Structure 1
Amino acid sequence: MELVFPDFTNPAIWISLLTLSFLEIVLGIDNIIFISIVAGKLPKQQQRRARNLGLLMAMLFRVGLLLCITWIIGLKDPVMTIPAIEGLSANPLALSVKDLILIAGGLFLIVKSTLEIHHKFKRDTGLEQKKVGKVVGFGGVIFQIVLVDAVFSFDSILTAVGLVDSVVVMIIAVIVSIGIMMLFAGPVTSIINRHPTLQMLALSFLVVIGVVLIAGGLHQEVSKSIIYSCLGFSLIVELLNIRLRKKAENIQLNNES
């Protein structure tokens, strides 16, 4: 696949660009949620810088992968085989580098999100807060943002290869999607930090995404549309609960006054 500048007078190129940009934005929802939670553990004056720097480094990482697209495609070749296990698998399972990356990334998301849930339950103790503050610094947040984005980059780029033939179009779509993520990561962070129940919902969603990544690495297809539909429904229910709680608090304040 050559790095050839496409003919933007062709409507098909614009359709491909819009489709791929939309796909990258949808796949970036997971990144925004993760970034919102991790960056929220930093001092407020550092959060925006951490989000933007992490996303900028992630964008450079994706562009670098796109420039090495031939090598990326080769990652789908099997590098190891798991023999068939009676009662679990009738056939041997061939795993590629891409599969191993997805499995490792899924495990990382599950472990990280579970630890975050554990910390949220202990956040009322000053010792736990001090402990978390020492463990997670600015550099640690940037590393986690780039690491998670790198995992999703392999999945999204391999998907893009099946949709678009032009590497230039892929690079433009990545830049557009990262730009939009920079715009919305801040508001999402603010909303999630104001409502602990949304934090728990987001962390639970990241655990599910981790399971989906592991399933993908093991060649088990899971419908992402179902996952996002469940998240959307849960989010609507939680927003209604937040509105009802706020309304009840206002009524109580009026009664007390």
Structure 2
Amino acid sequence: MEIFLKAETWLALLTLTFFEVVLGIDNIIFISIVSNRLPVEIRARTRNIGLLLAMGVRIILLLTITWVMKFTEPLFTVPHWISDDGSISGRDLILIFGGMFLIAKSTREINHEMEGEEETMATGGGKKVNVSGIIAQIILLDIIFSFDSILTAVGLTNEVVIMIVAVMLSIGIMIIFSGHISDFIHRHPSMEVLALGFLILIGFMIFLEGLGKDVPKGYIYFAIVFSMLIEMVNIRVRNRRKKAKEEAHE
């Protein structure tokens, strides 16, 4: 524990926690959307269970960091028109299938929005939603995103204890803010559709990353933030117009 008496330890912890939260934003959006398909009274509990189990999975991966790093070793070779470096590793396979899962899941959620299934399912009508299935989806997506965060952690510090503490802090922050994000998305369907569109984009980016393609993530995340800000302005404009109409009728 004497490592926590060093200033560089706290700097690494704060930096790593920040990166864990940033890399987990996609996860929070996904969790908020899938949990909104549950009845209101169990949404928060399901989100928290999923995040806590995901934290356990991340800690296990960190404790087996040597084994995890072997996932970056090539498993087989492929033509260069498929992968830039001509090889596919275990990490690449996880990213490829994970990206495909995220694209398929987000597309399906958009289809549900277009068909208006959410309200009937959330209020108990329509098909039953499998809570354990949603928790499994949360854990699966967290495993996909964990590889980037673990590789980032290894680049910042060699102390596994610091990595674990950073993961626990970041998951705690996600638990605190996931409810607010979920409620905001639920109140504004246009924001949910926009978020799902970006999850499709992120899934495609993960898929390309699994094929060894160099994807400029900075541009993509800038586009996401910029579009979110524009949509928030649109929401405010719509609310002001709605309020003005109500006052005019009065």
TM-score, normalised by the number of residues in structure 1: 0.91
Q: Distance in 2 between matches of 1:128 and 1:65?
A: 35
Q: Distance in 2 between matches of 1:214 and 1:6?
A: 42
Q: Distance in 1 between matches of 2:45 and 2:119?
A: 26
Secondary structure at the residue paired with 1:219?
A: coil
> For residues 255 and 207 of structure 1, do their structure 2 counterparts lie closer, same or farther at Cα, with a shift above 3 Å needed?
same
Amino acid of the structure 2 residue aligned with 1:141: I
- Quote the residue 1:234 is aligned against: 227
> Contact 1:107/1:210 (CA < 8 Å) preserved in 2?
yes
Secondary structure at the residue paired with 2:77?
A: strand
Return the match for 1:120 from 93, 113, 129: 113
Consecutive unaligned residues of structure 1, counting only runs of 5 or more, are none
Amino acid of the structure 2 residue aligned with 1:209: I
Aligned length: 250
Amino acid of the structure 2 residue aligned with 1:241: N
Greater shift in the superposed pair: 125-134 or 154-163: 125-134
Q: Distance in 2 between matches of 1:202 and 1:94?
A: 32
> For residues 143 and 251 of structure 1, do their structure 2 counterparts lie closer, same or farther at Cα, with a shift above 3 Å needed?
same
- Quote the residue 1:64 is aligned against: 60
- Percent identical residues: 46
> Contact 1:98/1:154 (CA < 8 Å) preserved in 2?
yes
Q: Pairwise mapping of residues 88-127 of structure 1 onto structure 2 (< 5 A)? A: 88=81, 93-123=86-116
> Contact 1:39/1:50 (CA < 8 Å) preserved in 2?
yes
Return the match for 1:183 from 176, 182, 189: 176
- Quote the residue 1:17 is aligned against: 13
Greater shift in the superposed pair: 29-38 or 212-221: 212-221
> Contact 2:58/2:167 (CA < 8 Å) preserved in 1?
yes
Amino acid of the structure 2 residue aligned with 1:14: W
> For residues 177 and 53 of structure 1, do their structure 2 counterparts lie closer, same or farther at Cα, with a shift above 3 Å needed?
same
Deviation at 1:83, TM superposition (A): 2.4
> Contact 2:121/2:129 (CA < 8 Å) preserved in 1?
no
Deviation at 1:223, TM superposition (A): 2.1
> For residues 37 and 133 of structure 1, do their structure 2 counterparts lie closer, same or farther at Cα, with a shift above 3 Å needed?
farther
> Contact 1:6/1:13 (CA < 8 Å) preserved in 2?
no
Secondary structure at the residue paired with 1:8?
A: helix
Deviation at 1:218, TM superposition (A): 0.9
- Quote the residue 1:145 is aligned against: 138
> Contact 1:6/1:166 (CA < 8 Å) preserved in 2?
no
Secondary structure at the residue paired with 1:42?
A: coil
- Quote the residue 2:77 is aligned against: 81
Secondary structure at the residue paired with 1:104?
A: helix
- Quote the residue 1:243 is aligned against: 236
Amino acid of the structure 2 residue aligned with 1:73: M
> Contact 2:50/2:138 (CA < 8 Å) preserved in 1?
yes
> For residues 6 and 249 of structure 1, do their structure 2 counterparts lie closer, same or farther at Cα, with a shift above 3 Å needed?
same
RMSD between aligned residues: 2.2
Return the match for 1:50 from 46, 49, 63: 46
- Quote the residue 2:30 is aligned against: 34
Return the match for 1:204 from 197, 220, 229: 197
Deviation at 1:159, TM superposition (A): 2.0
Consecutive unaligned residues of structure 2, counting only runs of 5 or more, are none
Deviation at 1:136, TM superposition (A): 2.8
Secondary structure at the residue paired with 1:80?
A: strand
Deviation at 1:227, TM superposition (A): 1.4
> Contact 1:76/1:98 (CA < 8 Å) preserved in 2?
yes
Deviation at 1:124, TM superposition (A): 6.5
Deviation at 1:132, TM superposition (A): 9.1
Q: In the alignment, is residue 160 of structure 1 matched against residue 153 of structure 2?
A: yes
Amino acid of the structure 2 residue aligned with 1:169: I
TM-score, normalised by the number of residues in structure 2: 0.94
Secondary structure at the residue paired with 1:165?
A: coil
Deviation at 1:135, TM superposition (A): 5.6
- Quote the residue 2:165 is aligned against: 172
Q: Distance in 2 between matches of 1:46 and 1:78?
A: 43
Amino acid of the structure 2 residue aligned with 1:15: L
